[in-house]
Every structure is written in structure tokens, then in C-alpha cells.
Structure 1
Amino acid sequence: MPYALVDFDKNQVFINSVDGNPENPVWAGSNTQYKFDVSRVGELTVQLFMRNPAAAAGTGRTQDIFLGAVRVNPKFEAVPDASQASASDVSQVDEIFKNEPAQDSVPDDFVLSKTMQDQFVNFSYNRPVAGLDDAGGSIKDPSFLEASETRGRR
């Protein structure tokens, strides 16, 4: 039975015919969709192949018979940018997301391993103070302090 390779913008979809015979294959109906992430205008290529019944086992698709190709340059309509009236404007958000109940995204029973905890044993965080150009973090590891003092003397 024939199959098609559909290429668009570095994405490829493999589509088998679903019924029929080699002379008159039946493809999936209009209710079947193949979606591509479209980031730019580009060429859509459809290549048709027939599996070679005489191909030796283990050759994969290297011996399949090329039937032809079609190249299409689809026309894309410009999609207007979503605009927001304010930071809290959700008018462009689909209703299915607006009706989703709020839930905590922290996984249950999340515990850092001992190895991970040891990575932070001498770390503390001080909240930055506005106007002091203070990054806010401080590391109390003596080797870090010595290294930074040595760099300052050079």
C-alpha cells in the first residue's frame, strides 16, 4: 500500500493509506488532522511511495518505490497580534483556561536528595536592598571569601 511523507518547515509526518488497493488507495478522512508548528511561511512537500514487496528483509524503506511529489506554497493570512487593555486583561484567553480551577504546582512529597541539600549547606540569601546595588546573595564558604579577597588584591 502507498504511504506519504509530508514535510513542512523541518517537520515530517508519515501517513499510511488506510484501505483500498495500490491503484486506488483510501486515505484517512477529513476528520483526521496532522498539525505542524508553523513559525514562518514555507513550502509544503508531499512525497508518495509504495512499499516494495520484493525488497529483502531488513532494508527498511530504502527499497521503496518513489511515485511522485507535490510542492505547495500555502498562503497564510496574517494573524493580528493579541492586544491587552491592561495587565489583568484575559479577553484573548480561551474560556477552557479561564475556568480551570487554581491548584498548587508543587509536586507532592518533593524532597531534595542529601547530595542536593549538601550543595547548599553554606549558602544564605539576603534580600537585596533597593538603591544599594546589592545583588543580595552571600556565600559563607571560607574558600570563596579567600578567593574573592585574593582577586581584589591583584
Structure 2
Amino acid sequence: MSLRSFLSSRTGKNFYNICYCWGACLVILGAVLKIMHAPYDNLFLMIGLFTEVFIFFISGFDEPSREYKWERVYPILNDKNANTDPTVTKYNVKNVMNSTHSKALQQLNKNVETLNELYINKLNEMYEAQIKQLKNGASSADLQESTRKLADEIAVLNEKYKKMLETIN
């Protein structure tokens, strides 16, 4: 395995990170010991500095990060005369709301509101049914059954939400 492929691997990146951090720690420790005139201060400083030299040497073999061509995704980046003022651009939110998409957005908003109302109404119905059961002295089996029904209703509504989100995306 070559040094370049090793440094590109997960193990190589972990090794590089550990060496880099330990080298920096030893340099700082050596500098602190040097300031304090402690024993072995020169040794710690030199070990840390040599570790950093080693790290900077092997970093020359590391693959550089990939440059992305953002102008392919956003062609406006190539246009020197592009208008970047959000209040003037043709894709302003106000313009989108007034365009042909307006009907679709209004219908989607209406569907979401209807689904929200349905969700809240179902939850309220089931909650009220459970309270009535508690007041009437229902058994724990009855409460478990109504709780299971509530969970089933929530699961059905969540599926509807999921489908709606999938159509939006």
C-alpha cells in the first residue's frame, strides 16, 4: 500500500490526526516546560517539533481536497453582470406566488391545513373517548384497546403526512 493510499484511508486519516494532535501537545508542553525551566524541557520541545516536522512532511503526500465546479450548478456565478439583489431578481418569492405555481401552492397549503385539522380532530376524539371511559370506570383492557386505536389512527395520519412530504420533495 502506498503512502498516498494509506493517508486517503480512514486508518491513515486517524493516524494523521493522532500524530498531529500529539505533536502539537508536545510542542506546547515543551514550550511550557522551557518557560518554567523544568527538567527535560528541551527533550519535550524537540520531540514535539520533530513530530510536527514529520506530520508536515507526510502531509505533502496527502491528496488535496476536491475542487467543485459550482458554476455548473449555479450558472449565475459565471455572469459578471448578474443581478444578485433579492428584491429585484426574477425568482423573487412574491413573483413565484403570483405565477402559475400559485394555484398549486394554494392547493398544497389547503391540503396540509385539512390534514392538520383531521389529525387534531382524531386526536381530540380519541382523547375524549378515553376520558369518558375513565369516568365510567372502564377496565385497563378497555383503556389499552382505545390507546391501541389511537396509536393506529396516528400511524395512518403519519403515513398521510409522509406521502405528502414525499410529493413535496
TM-score tier (shorter) = under 0.3
Give the structure with the larger strand fraction: 1
Normalised to the residue count of structure 1, the TM-score between the two structures is 0.20
Larger Rg: 2
Normalised to the residue count of structure 2, the TM-score between the two structures is 0.19
Give the structure with the larger helix fraction: 2
